[in-house]
């Protein structure tokens, strides 16, 4: 009897919850969920595609045109879906077919490159491998190598937003090392080494904005130290030789020297030619400090261009844009160091009025006594003051070009002028 009652009770409870259990099983089945999702999406697009406006609030007014809001929404959704589909499909295809040596390879103008990160390869316009290395957010950033169309390595090192930045090595077009050191925005900046195309070292030291700037060392083509000192605007700071003794200058300049000693016309004067750096200096004894020996009182630079920062002057008008108006200009008869400079320049090109006639005796191959010279040889000189120094530019005529210049220390009379 008791068993029958329990069976009846169980059957009654089951009958009450059977429909609920069936509904739960239906709602949690994948086929039901999928049907509802698909149905919802279908209903959404049916409503979305029903672009017919019902009243004036269903319009946007754009430049006087009435545009259905639903139509605008439909276009936006359509474009978004197509874009997502394109990215998805092309990324899958790219993953399968664009791998090259374990790295994804992109054309330089591929929109997907903007989404790439870490190490990739980039092809140039003609299809050559232009870059292999790290990228980030569409930029070449990180460590990498840059190649020419002829497959020559042009640069290896650090990049930041498509520019050389940090430690790197730059090469000539034939693959020979050109520079190794630090860069900033594609230019040499900081410390580094500069090499000639034949592989010999040219310079080691400091750079700024791609130019030699600061302390550095020049080397000759035999990799021997040639000059050690200060540099500015890619040139030696020749003025730092002023006031220095012969031994001090010799410690800085280790190249070939030729000595021109004055005869009876200029006791105590000597001109020392520093041929490997295209310069010479006039050395005179200072009676007030005779124990220190002869000092450099003028430095001559055999260059027909003058650099100041990014400016390069080749004529008098360009010099005036750098210095302002000269405090002196006019014709002048040459003095001994000018005569030596003119003859040096005329040994490989014709300048001014040709060579200056000299009467000389050669003591040694690099020691020459000048007995006399043509003192009637005339040049035209412009002199400018700058920073306590006087820069004098030597040319043939007024308002023309100059062939070389020399630097002296300014006097009190010149400062008062």
Least confident of 12-21, 119-128, 320-329: 12-21
Length of the chain: 417
Q: What are phi and psi of 96, to 5 degrees?
A: -85, -40
Q: What are phi and psi of 185, to 5 degrees?
A: 50, 50
For residue 152, what pLDDT is reported? 95
Considering only CA atoms, which of 403, 411, 191, 387 is closest in space to residue 308?
387
List the structure tokens of 335: 């003095």
Alpha carbons 338 and 189: distance in angstroms, whole number: 37
Above 50 in pLDDT, residue 153?
A: yes
Alpha carbons 412 and 417: distance in angstroms, whole number: 9
- Cβ neighbors of 219 (< 8 A, separation 6 or more) are 200, 201, 202, 203, 204, 225, 226
Q: Do 331 and 345 meet the contact criterion of CB atoms below 8 Å apart? A: no
Above 70 in pLDDT, residue 170?
A: yes
pLDDT digits (tens, 9 = 90+) for 69-79: 666 666 777 77
Q: Do 159 and 133 meet the contact criterion of CB atoms below 8 Å apart? A: yes
Between 128 and 290, the more confident residue is 128
Quick one: pLDDT band at residue 357, thresholds 50, 70, 90? very high
For 60, the 3-state DSSP assignment is: strand
Quick one: pLDDT band at residue 96, thresholds 50, 70, 90? very low
Alpha carbons 268 and 287: distance in angstroms, whole number: 10
For residue 266, what pLDDT is reported? 63
- Cβ neighbors of 87 (< 8 A, separation 6 or more) are 112
Alpha carbons 265 and 297: distance in angstroms, whole number: 18
List the structure tokens of 399: 């308002």
Above 70 in pLDDT, residue 26?
A: no
Spell out where 161-310 has E strands.
Answer: 163-171, 177-184, 187-195, 201-208, 211-219, 225-232, 235-236, 257-262, 270-274, 279-285, 294-301, 306-308
Above 50 in pLDDT, residue 291?
A: no
Q: How far is CA 124 from CA 132, 150, 185, 192, in A?
A: 11, 11, 21, 29
- Average pLDDT on 83-90 reads 61
* Residue given tokens 């220190």 in the structure block: 292
Partners of residue 315 on adjacent β-strands: 401
Q: Annotate 359-414 with DSSP letters as a single string.
A: EEEEEETTEEEEEEE-TT-EEEEEEEEETTEEEEEEESSTTSBEEEEEEEEPPHHH
109 DSSP 8-state letter = T
Alpha carbons 383 and 387: distance in angstroms, whole number: 13
Above 70 in pLDDT, residue 405?
A: yes
Considering only CA atoms, which of 171, 227, 235, 229 is closest in space to residue 208?
235
Above 50 in pLDDT, residue 292?
A: yes
pLDDT digits (tens, 9 = 90+) for 230-269: 999 999 999 999 999 999 999 999 999 999 998 776 667 8
Spell out where 302-373 has E strands.
Answer: 306-308, 311-313, 328-333, 358-364, 367-373
- CATH architecture, domain 101-243: Single Sheet (2.20)
Considering only CA atoms, which of 227, 228, 186, 242 is closest in space to residue 209?
186
The sign of the torsion formed by the CA atoms of 200, 206, 211, 214 equals negative
Residue ranges per structural domain of the chain: 45-97, 101-243, 244-417
* Residue given tokens 């979305």 in the structure block: 48
- Average pLDDT on 139-167 reads 96
Query: Is this structure's pTM higher than 0.85?
Result: no
Q: HSE (CB half, 13 Å, CA atoms) of 253? A: 25
Alpha carbons 275 and 257: distance in angstroms, whole number: 7
Maximum C-alpha span of the chain: 154
For residue 136, what pLDDT is reported? 92
Rounded percentage of the chain residues whose pLDDT exceeds 90: 60
Quick one: pLDDT band at residue 416, thresholds 50, 70, 90? very low
For residue 111, what pLDDT is reported? 87
pLDDT digits (tens, 9 = 90+) for 360-399: 998 887 899 999 999 999 999 999 999 899 999 999 988 8
Average pLDDT score, the chain: 84
Q: What H or E segment, with its residue span, contains residue 156?
A: strand 153-160
Choose the most confident range, by mean pLDDT, from 21-30, 83-92, 285-294, 347-356: 347-356
Alpha carbons 376 and 333: distance in angstroms, whole number: 6
Above 80 in pLDDT, residue 61?
A: no
Least confident of 115-124, 196-205, 341-350, 406-415: 406-415
């Amino acid at each position: 009897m008791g068993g029958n009652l329990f069976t009846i009770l169980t059957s009654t409870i089951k009958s009450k919850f059977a429909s609920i259990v069936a509904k739960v099983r239906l709602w949690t089945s994948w086929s039901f969920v999928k049907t509802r999702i698909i149905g919802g999406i279908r209903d959404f697009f049916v409503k979305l595609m029903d672009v017919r406006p019902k009243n004036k609030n269903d319009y946007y007014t754009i430049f006087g045109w009435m545009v259905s809001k639903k139509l605008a929404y439909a276009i936006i959704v359509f474009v978004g879906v197509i874009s997502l589909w394109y990215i998805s499909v092309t990324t899958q295809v790219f993953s399968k077919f664009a791998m090259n040596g374990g790295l994804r390879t992109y054309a330089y103008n591929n929109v997907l490159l903007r989404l790439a990160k870490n190490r990739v390869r980039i092809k140039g316009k003609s299809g050559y491998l232009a870059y292999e290395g790290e990228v980030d957010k569409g930029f070449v950033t990180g460590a990498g190598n840059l190649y020419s169309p002829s497959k020559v390595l042009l640069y290896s090192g650090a990049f930041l937003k498509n520019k050389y930045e940090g430690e790197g090595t730059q090469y000539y077009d034939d693959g020979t090392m050109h520079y190794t050191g630090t860069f900033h925005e594609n230019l040499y900046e900081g410390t580094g080494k500069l090499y000639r195309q034949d592989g010999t070292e040219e310079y080691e030291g400091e750079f700024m904005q791609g130019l030699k700037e600061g302390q550095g060392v020049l080397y000759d083509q035999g990799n021997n130290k040639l000059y050690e000192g200060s540099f500015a605007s890619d040139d030696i700071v020749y003025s730092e030789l002023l006031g220095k003794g012969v031994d001090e200058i010799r410690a800085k300049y280790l190249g070939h020297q030729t000595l021109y000693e004055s005869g009876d016309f200029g006791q105590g004067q000597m001109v020392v030619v520093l041929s490997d750096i295209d310069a010479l200096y006039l050395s005179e004894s200072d009676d007030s400090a005779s124990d220190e020996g002869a000092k450099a009182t003028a430095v001559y630079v055999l260059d027909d261009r003058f650099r100041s920062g990014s400016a390069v002057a080749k004529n008098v008008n360009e010099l005036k844009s750098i210095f302002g108006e000269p405090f002196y200009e006019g014709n002048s008869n040459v003095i001994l160091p000018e005569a030596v400079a003119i003859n040096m320049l005329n040994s490989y090109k014709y300048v001014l009025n040709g060579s200056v006639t000299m009467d000389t005796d050669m003591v040694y191959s690099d020691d020459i006594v000048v007995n006399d010279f043509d003192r009637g040889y005339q040049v035209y000189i412009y002199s400018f003051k700058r920073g306590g120094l006087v820069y004098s530019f030597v040319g043939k005529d007024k308002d023309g070009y100059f062939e070389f210049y020399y630097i002296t220390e300014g006097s009190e009379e010149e400062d008062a002028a």
